[in-house]
Amino acid sequence: MTSRHIVHVDMDAYFASVEQLDDPSLRGRPVIVGVGDRGVVSAASYEARAFGVRSAMPVVQARRLCPMGVFVPGRYARYAELSRVLMACLGQFSPLVEPASIDEAYVDMTGSATLFGGPQDFGMAMKRAVFSATGLACSVGVAPVKFLAKIASDFHKPDGLTVVEEGDVREFLAVLPVEKIPGVGRRTREALALLGVRTAGDLLVHPREFWERRLGKHGPELYDKALGIDPSPVRLSREVKSISAENTFDADVSSREALAVWLLHQSERVGRQLRKKNLLGRTVTLKLKYSDFKQITRAKTLPAPTDCDEAIFEAARALLDDIPLSRPARLVGVGVSGFGAVAARLDLWHDADAPDVPARPRRLDSAIDAIRDRFGSDAIRRGRLFGFGGTRRRDAGNDGGGGAGS
């Protein structure tokens, strides 16, 4: 069986590095992307990180830690422009390129590795090609599976290259802190620590069945990763036609205000997925299913495409207000569709680059995203959602190829 060669390419301090690239006077200085007393740090250069500045940190705190820092607003259309250059560059090495975010991607080199030599060779070739195309440094991890490639790319940042050969996987994992494994958050880490698990290798002290009993379906997945098993393929991006979220309630809901709170929660979920995928949509669809299982949908076309939580919610709320609640509802959902061309999606990101999209709500949404990415989904919530929860039966959502709500 042919050994897999999966590469994870991760740009170093991407937003801040772009600012230093475009303004040579910033090179070697602590650059922090994020402004305003109520803002949040989007990115920090390595010079700023030396002072303890991190992404998702309040700008006020960053100023205290690094008073000599250079604080700049984000230029998201520029970041997206260079992201497209990055993805095109990686596509020269393999047709199997999976963008993971604006500044990172997976590349499956299994079928084309022999064209470029061994992992060290094509890893270095990628680094040189990315620097030549963008003017920016990246860190590269090469491993037989995706999650290990991502871990490896973080090992020698910045401007690093780490290769984990197939025969070295068990040794590599034996001493790897267990929290480095994707899916191991604070709660899981604390639960594992009580069982004496500090490294991925410690998981192998007990059999797979033990972890299934302890951690449910997550247990066997974790055990497999400790063995270096991850069948996840590198997937080409598929066209997304809609993104939606819906909830079926444990008890039917008659209150219009209660349904509106659910719509706000769902609008946040949909908006976050839109921003992760660099999408802007013009059509908001409301789905309502009554207690007798009869279902209606209503749609509203916005004057300009959006990825803002508040804009999605306001449109969904307006649709809800026009629907009679003659009987209780058992399900409500919201979806966004009508996406523009790829270039437009990526260029209409922020402020001056997206004049039709209100700047302040977009900054707020981006700040909330950054905090949740770093500290978890429950780390921050809007005031209208305090105390929210409780009556749902299940969450559902899609970012698939069907129409809105499909």
Q: Which residues pair with 333 in a beta bridge?
A: 246, 287
With b meaning 16 or more CB within 10 Å and e meaning fewer, what string describes 41-79?
A: bbbbbbbbbebebebbbbbeebbebbeebbbbbbbbbbb
DSSP tag of 202: G
Helix (H) or strand (E) run with residue 130 in it: helix 119-134
* Positive or negative torsion for Cα 26, 31, 33, 34: negative
> Which is catalytic among the residues 98, 104, 268, 310?
104
Using DSSP, state whether 166 is helix, strand or coil.
Answer: helix
The annotation status of 10 as a binding-site residue, yes or no, is yes
Contact call for residues 31 and 171 (beta carbons, < 8 A): no
CA dist., res. 30 & res. 51, Å (int):
9
104 in active site: yes
Using DSSP, state whether 171 is helix, strand or coil.
Answer: helix
The β-bridge relationship of strands 70-72 and 31-33 is parallel
* Amino acid identity at 342: V
The annotation status of 22 as a binding-site residue, yes or no, is no
- Going from the C-alpha of 69 to that of each of 16, 23, 72, the distances in angstroms are 12, 15, 10
Q: Which residues are annotated as a binding site for Mg(2+)?
A: 10, 103
Q: Active-site residue numbers?
A: 104
Q: Which residues are annotated as a binding site?
A: 10, 103
